[in-house]
Amino acid sequence: MTDSETRLKALMLRGLDGDTAAYRECLALLGDRLRAYFMRRMAGAPGDVEDLVQETLLAVHLKRSTWDSAQPFTAWAHAVARYKLIDHWRRRKIRQTLPIEDHVEFLVADEPDPGVGLELDRALATLPERQRTLVSDVKLTGLSLAEAGARMGISEGAAKVALHRALKALAERMRRADG
């Protein structure tokens, strides 16, 4: 973990706990990093850099509850910035590619925890058969909602509702298991 990541993550965690000074400092430091990030990619339109910084900071603020504090903060913030940049290019009808080397540290996969599959199997086993099949078909096998619904003899809309309920139930069980 870099010093920058350590500092930003600590400030963000304190900010989420209600420390407004830490949160303000986190956003200021992040803003500086975002400016550098966007300036490297927006050489042809430097006037848009500050707008992108502000849009990204606003998105980070609005979506801060979606950040998993067990994960690196800068990777999450970088993803938000990248999506804002892509949205900007789409609005301007600009087609651009980003070198993969800029993102290699975010693409390195951790070794999967061997216990995860067992936990997933146990959690799925707690669901009724219909929900278990639906989750497996859509989320593990990759079928569309329409395909999974057709296999079960229900409409796509009914499959969507059932899948949502199943995932909500799984999430609740996992939260209780972690608590």
Query: For 107-135, how does the pLDDT look when each residue is reduced to its tens digit (9 = 90+)?
Result: 555 555 555 556 777 778 888 888 888 88
Q: What is the pTM of this model?
A: 0.52
User: What tokens does 103 get?
Assistant: 């993102």
Per-residue buried b or exposed e for 9-46, using 16+ beta carbons within 10 Å of the residue's own CB: bebbbbbeeeeeebbebbbeebeebbeebbeebbeeee
pLDDT band, very low/low/confident/very high, at 90 (cuts 50, 70, 90): confident
With a cut of 80, say whether residue 148 has pLDDT above it.
yes
From CA 126, how far away is CA 135, in angstroms rounded? Answer: 12
- The three-point CA angle 145-151-156 to 5° equals 30
From CA 67, how far away is CA 102, in angstroms rounded? Answer: 22
User: What tokens does 179 get?
Assistant: 């608590």
